[in-house]
Structure formats: structure tokens, C-alpha cells
């Protein structure tokens, strides 16, 4: 029997099966949204495919009733663990009135919701980083014991928002985790044209806290690194920068043609390390997953996605008069 790596980092058999469920659910929601987009039923998709392992691994290391998320637009796996459902995601994709993120006002991927401890995001990239730092400062001032998680792509690590937020958090030793999902491309700009240093994690030393690079295709390893960062933050030792290295398996968005900036051979090679395939193989190897269990889980997920799609497609749109609600004091 192969060593159960997950037990060495404190995860149970049930937890790693749940991890796989959330990774699979995120993937199947995402795939359905692409089909709906190509059918002309939803306007836009910004995908999580290839990044689910890092998101789910990180989410499992936090306490969803206590900690706060400031996610970026690809973080579907993360927000599912924190309580959003397939139905919530589909309502957002269809821009329906019941969309919990914004009532149909925001484009997909702009996650939010007070009941989920998720700060509402906006379209300019990296604005969530200083917001996360501000939340952590507020928590300290109010003597609250929570950790704030801010995720972003490696392209965002070049923005002033990241550097200002990291510097302030480092000086004040705030309980923030900066989680970079390095998927190798800032839309069409490859990593070697974004950074002069070896990795995003190298930047942490300039702000006085640890920077760690981790295999973003391995949810167990991400969990381990993230758990250590959470414990550091809770004990008053300050922030950590985690760089989860992965690959974006699909175009930047449904409006992007990635064939103009990367080869099909490169993408096909990356698909061999698809985190769902790799993690399922690990679970089979240690005897937690077999054909029957895998089929049952896939059927469960497909039913969730089907029911969510049908509900959202038939749900009402926001009324025209609701446009001004929350804008002019109504």
C-alpha cells in the first residue's frame, strides 16, 4: 500500500475525498458554462480549469466560519468550499436576480457574499490585495482572531496594489496570506516577460516575510504550505506569500484565442499534469477511489450541475427598476 501522504499533513480520508469532490464540481460547472457560452446563453466565462487543486487545497486549510476571502476571478473551487453552490454559480453566469454575488449586476467571476465571508471583488485586477490588508488591520484593531486570504494571478504581482499591500502587511505583521496562482500567462504575456526574478515567491523577502513556491497541481502540498501560513498568521508572526505554480488549461476567457500566443503542443503537454487526473490517480493508488465510487461521485456532481443549470436558466432576471438599488441610497 502506498503511503498516505495526506495523513502526514493531518488530512483524513474523508477530507481528501471531499477535496476531490470540490475539484470535480468546479471543473464540471466550468465546462458547463463554456457550453452555455458557446450556445449563446451566457455572455462570458473566465475559467478555473487547471487551478482547482490549489484553490481547494488552500480553502481546506482555513476555517470558513472564521476567516475571510478576497478572491480573484478564477477562484471557483475556493468559493465552493466556502459555501457557494452550483446553483449560485449558474445564477451568476446567467445574471439572474437571485445571483448571491451581485444580484445579476456583475460579470461572472466577481465573487462575493457576506454570509460566505467573501469580500466582493471588482474588475480592476489586484484591488483585492490592499482591501485584504485593510481587513486584517481592522481585525487586529477590533481584537478579532481571523486570517484574511487574498489570491491573484502572477500578472497581478506586478501591480502597485500588490507591492503596497505586501509592504504595509509586512511592516505591521498582519494576518494576511498572499496567494499567487501562477498559471504562466498574464492573458497573453508569458512569465519570462513578466518577472526578472526566478519566481513570484522571491519577492517576499523585500517585505520581511516568507515566500514559498509550491506545486499548484498537488492539493495536499498546497494544504500543507497553506496550513503553516495560517498558523503563522494566527500566532502574530505576520504574512506569507505563497506561489502555487500551475497551468491555465484553457484560454484566458471565452473572449480569448490562446492559439495566437501558445502552441497546442504546450497545452497538451500541460494537460498530462491536469490536477484532477493526478489527484484521482493518487486516491485510486491508496485505495480510496475505485471505479464505482468515482462513477457515483461523477453522477452526483453532474446532477448538481444539471439541476443548477435548469434552475438558473428559468429564474427571473432583475427588474429594470432595481438597477438603481444600492446606487443612489435606495
pLDDT of residue 106: 87
Residue 29 domain flag: yes
pTM for this one? 0.96
pLDDT of 47 strictly over 90: yes
In a domain, 20, yes or no: yes
In a domain, residue 212? The reply is: yes
**Per-residue pLDDT, 1:** 53
- Residue 292 belongs to a domain: no
**For the segment 251-282, what is each residue's pLDDT rounded down to a tens digit?**
999 999 999 999 999 999 999 999 999 999 99
pLDDT in tens, 96-137: 999 999 999 888 899 999 999 999 988 899 999 999 999 999
Q: What is the mean pLDDT of residues 45-63?
A: 98
Residue 94 lies in a domain: yes
DSSP H or E stretch at residue 293: helix 291-314
Catalytic residues: 248, 252, 261
What is the overall mean pLDDT for the chain? Answer: 96
Its domain, for residue 151, covers: 3-283+300-315
Total domains present in the chain: 1
Residue 330 has pLDDT above 80, yes or no: no
Interval 182-240: pLDDT, tens: 999 999 999 999 999 989 999 999 999 999 999 999 999 999 999 999 999 999 999 99
Cα dist from 286 to 4, 7, 50, 213, 283, whole Å: 7, 11, 23, 26, 5
Evaluate whether residue 327 is within a structural domain.
no
Return the closest-CA partner of residue 246 out of 123, 42, 16, 77: 77
Question: In this prediction, what percent of the chain has a pLDDT beyond 70?
Answer: 99
Task: Please return the burial class of 21, using the count of CB atoms within 10 Å of its CB with bins 0-12, 13-18 and 19+.
Answer: middle
- Structural domain contains residue 72: yes
| Rounded Cα distance, 263 and 268, in Å | 9
pLDDT at 79 > cutoff 90: yes
CA–CA separation, 262 vs 271, rounded Å? 14
Please write the tens of the pLDDT for every residue from 148-163.
999 999 999 999 999 9
CA 239 – CA 219 distance, rounded (Å): 21
Residue 323 falls inside a structural domain: no
Q: Angle 291-314/13-38 helices, nearest 10 degrees?
A: 40
Q: Is 197 exposed, middle or buried (0-12, 13-18, 19+ CB in 10 A)?
A: exposed
Q: Residue 73 maps to which CATH number?
A: 3.40.50.970
Amino acid at each position: 500500500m502506498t503511503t498516505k501522504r495526506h495523513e502526514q499533513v493531518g488530512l483524513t480520508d474523508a477530507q481528501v475525498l471531499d477535496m476531490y469532490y470540490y475539484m470535480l464540481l468546479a471543473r464540471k460547472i466550468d465546462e458547463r458554462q463554456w457550453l452555455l457560452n458557446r450556445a449563446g446563453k451566457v455572455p462570458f466565462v473566465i475559467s478555473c480549469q487547471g487551478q482547482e487543486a490549489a484553490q481547494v487545497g488552500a480553502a481546506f486549510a482555513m476555517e470558513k466560519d472564521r476567516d475571510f476571502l478576497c478572491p480573484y476571478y478564477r477562484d471557483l473551487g475556493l468559493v465552493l468550499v466556502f459555501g457557494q453552490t452550483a446553483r449560485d454559480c449558474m445564477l451568476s453566469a446567467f445574471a439572474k436576480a437571485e445571483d448571491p454575488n451581485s444580484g445579476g449586476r456583475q460579470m461572472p467571476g466577481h465573487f462575493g457574499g457576506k454570509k460566505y465571508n467573501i469580500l466582493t471583488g471588482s474588475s480592476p485586477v489586484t484591488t483585492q490585495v490592499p482591501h485584504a490588508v485593510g481587513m486584517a488591520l481592522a481585525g487586529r484593531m477590533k481584537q478579532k482572531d481571523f486570517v484574511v486570504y487574498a489570491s491573484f494571478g502572477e500578472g497581478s504581482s506586478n501591480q502597485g496594489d500588490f507591492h503596497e499591500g505586501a509592504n504595509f502587511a509586512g511592516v505591521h505583521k498582519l494576518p494576511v496570506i498572499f496567494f499567487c496562482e501562477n498559471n504562466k500567462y498574464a492573458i497573453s504575456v508569458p512569465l519570462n516577460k513578466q518577472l526578472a526574478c526566478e519566481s513570484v515567491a522571491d519577492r517576499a523577502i523585500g517585505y520581511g516575510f516568507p515566500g514559498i513556491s509550491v506545486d499548484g497541481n498537488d492539493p495536499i502540498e498546497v494544504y500543507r504550505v497553506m496550513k503553516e501560513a495560517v498558523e503563522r498568521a494566527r500566532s502574530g508572526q505576520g504574512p506569507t506569500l505563497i506561489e502555487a505554480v500551475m497551468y491555465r488549461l484553457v484560454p484566458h476567457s471565452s473572449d480569448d484565442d490562446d492559439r495566437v500566443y501558445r502552441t497546442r503542443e504546450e497545452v497538451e503537454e500541460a494537460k498530462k499534469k491536469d490536477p484532477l487526473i493526478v489527484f484521482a490517480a493518487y486516491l485510486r493508488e491508496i485505495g480510496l477511489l475505485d471505479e464505482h465510487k468515482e462513477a457515483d461521485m461523477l453522477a452526483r456532481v453532474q446532477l448538481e450541475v444539471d439541476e443548477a443549470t435548469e434552475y438558473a436558466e428559468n429564474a427571473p432576471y432583475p427588474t429594470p427598476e432595481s438597477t438603481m438599488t444600492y446606487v443612489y441610497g435606495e
